[in-house]
């Protein structure tokens, strides 16, 4: 029930919005969260995630502040470290050093303390053995800067956030879609929302926009990402249609960041139009560094082993979208199938198996045909180019390369020669868009003169400036938490009840 005047209205009930709500409440505000989705679909993209979290830790002692680890786990695991320097390097390298320096600094320096704050609100974390560690010489070796996930993955995270909000008296309205901001020369005074089909004016002293990017809006994808993006599948929620960005731009907010860029991955060719909560992120096929990928013309089109999966997967969706008929097959043999992630063992999968490469091509043709002679040549050229004398090691960038191909595979090259062969068909799945509004270091939305719009804050996917071209895996949730907490704290302080 929406009743009376609220101090802070948060638009969007994903991770960023719920962190903002918790922070605003902590600062004494009466908070209402508007969620466009019905109760059963609440939680946005955050709920579809595995809950992987990229944050700074300098050793196992930092992990122990966030989660429980048994003595055996500590003795049999090499968690490594993920230092501030490494985080800066990764974010800089992947974004062509375009990431806004203030935002990058806040994300990185506040990453660990923000997760500790979430823990104080009841959110639990766990080591990410299944996806981020390989057993090597008797130890689980973690790689790629991701050691922890939210307990229970995205669904566990979202449940924890809602429970925490409920315990603190934060109200959430479902099927409540923010449409416009109530705004005059003195700033923002609330939101006009469609609540269960009825236009409703909700007054508030401050508004936090946290309602996602425009990835679920085919028209905006095509307009801003470019031709062909209408054909991408949406990996997560159908509710992130760019409304928050539109609401802010409507009252003069500044557009910012990589509007033509997005996070997009290889996603099952026959996955539904939008995400499926029962399947979660399992339509993705992220073990391609140990495979090769071929397109409809039977050719490889990228260096599958350019880097650890965490550093290439978010840009390879675009590569797949750019291929003829927007598909790519991943090919494995028995030497590497044990490296396939759990998502390769689900029922809803476009997979064929055969004892010869010729037969594999025929079976692939039943779903998405490739040029067979070209495909056979690609495989034999690739096999001949693998530098077999370099040792194979999936836990490091092993430098086991091919030599002499138009596009070499520069790590984890393994000839395809041990049948049965397995092929998985993928297309492009869009995760979230990179462009949005501009905020300052207090989470305040800036106008086109780069002045804060009084009473308006933002966090999460709809904020631009952090990601350009690519993205280090596990940063979306942590950035939502860091900037959600900042926005909620500023909004709560503006209301002033605790001061």
Ligand X SMILES: Cc1cc2nc3c(=O)[nH]c(=O)nc-3n(C[C@H](O)[C@H](O)[C@H](O)COP(=O)(O)OP(=O)(O)OC[C@H]3O[C@@H](n4cnc5c(N)ncnc54)[C@H](O)[C@@H]3O)c2cc1C
Applying CB under 6 A, the residues found at the interface with ligand X are 11-17, 34-37, 43-46, 48-52, 177-178, 210-212, 235-237, 239-240, 243-244, 275, 281, 431-432, 460-461, 474-477, 480
Choose among 206, 205, 203: nearest CA to 4: 203
CB of 260 to ligand X, least distance (A): 18
How far apart CA 292 and CA 298 sit, in angstroms, is 11
Whichever of 426 and 431 has its CB closer to ligand X, that residue is 431
Whichever of 240 and 489 has its CB closer to ligand X, that residue is 240
How far apart CA 335 and CA 488 sit, in angstroms, is 50
- Is residue 183 within 8 A of residue 218, CB to CB? The reply is no
* Alpha-carbon 198 to chain mean position: 33
CB of 16 to ligand X, least distance (A): 3
Whichever of 187 and 275 has its CB closer to ligand X, that residue is 275
CB of 252 to ligand X, least distance (A): 19
Which residues, in sequence order, are CB contacts of 70 under 8 Å at separation 6+? none
How far apart CA 118 and CA 484 sit, in angstroms, is 11
Which residues, in sequence order, are CB contacts of 223 under 8 Å at separation 6+? none
Whichever of 246 and 397 has its CB closer to ligand X, that residue is 246
Whichever of 253 and 477 has its CB closer to ligand X, that residue is 477
CB of 131 to ligand X, least distance (A): 9
CB of 113 to ligand X, least distance (A): 17
CB of 466 to ligand X, least distance (A): 10
- Is residue 46 within 8 A of residue 55, CB to CB? The reply is no
How far apart CA 35 and CA 75 sit, in angstroms, is 44
Whichever of 329 and 432 has its CB closer to ligand X, that residue is 432
- How distant, in Å, are the alpha carbons of 301, 366, 376 from that of 298? 10, 15, 8
Whether the CA torsion 245, 246, 251, 255 is positive or negative: it is: positive
Whichever of 213 and 298 has its CB closer to ligand X, that residue is 213
CB of 313 to ligand X, least distance (A): 10
- Is residue 484 within 8 A of residue 20, CB to CB? The reply is yes
- How distant, in Å, are the alpha carbons of 276, 428, 430 from that of 273? 9, 11, 11
Whichever of 214 and 329 has its CB closer to ligand X, that residue is 214
CB of 495 to ligand X, least distance (A): 21
């Amino acid at each position: 029930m929406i009743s009376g005047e609220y101090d802070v209205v948060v638009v969007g009930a994903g991770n960023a919005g719920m962190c903002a709500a918790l922070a605003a409440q902590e600062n004494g505000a009466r908070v209402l969260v508007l969620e466009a989705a019905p109760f059963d679909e609440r939680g946005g993209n955050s709920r579809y995630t595995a809950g992987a979290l990229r944050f700074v830790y300098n050793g196992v002692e930092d992990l122990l502040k966030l989660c429980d680890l048994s003595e055996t786990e500590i003795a049999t695991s090499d968690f490594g470290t993920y230092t501030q320097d490494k985080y800066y390097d990764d974010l800089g390298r992947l974004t062509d050093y375009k990431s806004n320096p203030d935002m990058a600094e806040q994300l990185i320096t506040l990453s660990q303390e923000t997760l500790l704050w979430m823990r104080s609100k009841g959110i639990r974390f766990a080591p990410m053995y299944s996806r981020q560690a390989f057993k090597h010489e008797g130890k689980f070796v973690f790689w790629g800067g991701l050691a922890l996930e939210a307990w229970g993955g995205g669904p566990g995270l979202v449940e924890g956030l809602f429970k925490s909000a409920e315990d603190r008296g934060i109200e959430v309205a479902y099927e409540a879609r923010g449409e416009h901001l109530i705004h005059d020369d003195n700033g923002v005074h609330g939101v006009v929302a469609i609540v269960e089909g009825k236009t409703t004016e909700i007054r508030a002293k401050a508004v936090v926009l946290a309602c996602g990017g425009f990835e679920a809006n085919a028209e905006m994808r095509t307009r801003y990402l470019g031709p062909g993006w209408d054909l991408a599948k949406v990996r997560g929620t159908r509710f992130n249609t760019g409304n928050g960005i539109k609401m802010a731009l409507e009252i003069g907010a500044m557009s910012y960041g990589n509007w033509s860029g997005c996070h997009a991955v290889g996603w099952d060719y026959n996955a539904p139009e939008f995400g499926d909560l029962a399947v979660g992120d399992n339509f993705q096929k992220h073990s391609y560094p140990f495979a090769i990928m071929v397109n409809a013309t039977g050719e490889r089109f990228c260096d599958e082993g350019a880097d650890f999966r965490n550093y290439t997967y978010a840009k390879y969706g675009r590569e797949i979208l750019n291929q003829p008929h927007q598909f790519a097959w991943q090919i494995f043999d028995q030497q590497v199938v044990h490296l396939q992630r759990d998502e390769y063992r689900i029922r809803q999968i476009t997979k064929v198996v055969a004892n010869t490469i010729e037969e594999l091509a025929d079976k692939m043709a039943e779903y998405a045909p490739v040029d067979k002679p070209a495909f056979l040549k690609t495989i034999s050229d690739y096999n001949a180019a693998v530098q077999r004398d370099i040792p194979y090691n999936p836990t490091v960038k092993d430098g086991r390369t091919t030599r002499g191909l138009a596009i070499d595979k520069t790590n984890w090259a393994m000839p395809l020669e041990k049948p049965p062969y397995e092929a998985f068909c993928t297309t492009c799945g869009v995760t979230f868009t990179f462009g949005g509004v501009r905020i300052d270091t207090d989470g305040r939305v800036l106008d086109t003169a780069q002045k804060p719009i009084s009473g308006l804050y933002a966090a999460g996917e709809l904020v631009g400036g952090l990601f350009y071209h690519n993205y280090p895996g596990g940063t979306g949730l942590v950035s939502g938490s860091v900037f959600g907490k900042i926005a909620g704290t500023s909004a709560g302080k503006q209301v002033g009840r605790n001061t």
